């Protein structure tokens, strides 16, 4: 009989395509800023915004302000820059309201796992409010064990430090080999949890990474959550349809 008692997941590029969503939201934001009076081409603005993100990270809160500082558009002589920034922020958040959703196979698997009593949780790297908001907007909170949501900023330990995973396992009162972790990054989501004895699954569907040269050796590799369902049913004897 399988010892598996809990399955924990990464969020970004594991439960939904963060990369695809972010590109769409930023494009909508840039278009809204141009409509609000930013007199530059979409290509120029997006290219500069990509540089801002690379230099200040995605967690920086004033990307659009920095964008205008760098571009120094002539339109600022006749348009209040706050209105342009507000247009971009509003369009970005409107995209979140409309389009942020998990992959289609997430809800069915989570529903079936909860039905059979499997504990489901999260280990994610990022700012507490941002990562928690993603879970809320993705509609996943009802499926999760409230004592099994671990956000690096909240815990005070970031990926890829194995202590983050060890803290999660201990807080749940489980042994590492009783917990499976599913994530997209070989370096952050496979090597650390495997080093403490957790069962690891590399979700390659939206991953920006490859296993080559990473040193990662996941127990399982999946292209989607239907494949994870079959592994859980056939190899871990979970009573899943």
pLDDT tens, position by position, 2-15: 799 999 999 999 99
User: Which sequence spans correspond to the domains of the chain?
Assistant: 6-16+101-234, 19-99
Considering the entire predicted model, what is its pTM? Answer: 0.91
pLDDT of amino acid 59: 83
**Superfamily for the 6-16+101-234 domain:** HAD superfamily/HAD-like (3.40.50.1000)
Contact 180, 8 (CB under 8 A): yes
Give the pLDDT of residue 215: 85
Q: Residue 112 has what pLDDT?
A: 98
In angstroms, the CA 153 to CA 225 distance is 27
Give the model's pLDDT for residue 130.
93
Q: Which CATH architecture has domain 19-99?
A: Orthogonal Bundle (1.10)
Query: pLDDT at position 213, please?
Result: 80
Residues of the chain with pLDDT under 50: none
∠ CA 99-137-153 to the nearest 5 degrees?
125
């Amino acid at each position: 009989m399988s010892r598996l008692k809990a399955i924990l997941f990464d969020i970004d590029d594991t439960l939904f395509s963060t990369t695809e969503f972010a590109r769409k939201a930023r494009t909508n934001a840039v278009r809204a800023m141009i409509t609000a009076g930013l007199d530059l081409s979409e290509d120029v603005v997006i290219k500069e915004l990509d540089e801002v993100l690379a230099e200040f990270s995605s967690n920086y809160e004033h990307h659009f302000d920095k964008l205008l500082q760098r571009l120094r558009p002539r339109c600022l002589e006749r348009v209040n820059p706050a209105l342009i920034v507000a247009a971009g922020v509003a369009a970005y958040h409107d995209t979140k309201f409309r389009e942020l959703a998990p992959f289609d196979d997430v809800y069915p698997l989570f529903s079936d796992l909860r039905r059979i009593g499997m504990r489901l949780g999260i280990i994610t790297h990022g700012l507490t409010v941002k990562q928690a908001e993603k879970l809320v907007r993705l509609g996943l909170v009802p499926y999760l064990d409230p004592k099994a949501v671990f956000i690096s900023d909240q815990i005070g330990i970031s990926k890829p430090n194995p202590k983050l995973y060890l803290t999660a396992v201990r807080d749940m009162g489980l042994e590492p080999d009783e917990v499976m972790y599913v994530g997209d990054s070989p370096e952050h989501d496979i090597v650390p949890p495997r080093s403490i004895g957790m069962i690891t699954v590399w979700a390659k569907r939206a991953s920006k990474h490859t296993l080559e040269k990473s040193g990662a050796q996941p127990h399982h590799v999946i292209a989607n959550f239907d494949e994870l369902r079959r592994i859980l049913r056939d190899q871990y004897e979970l009573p899943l349809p």
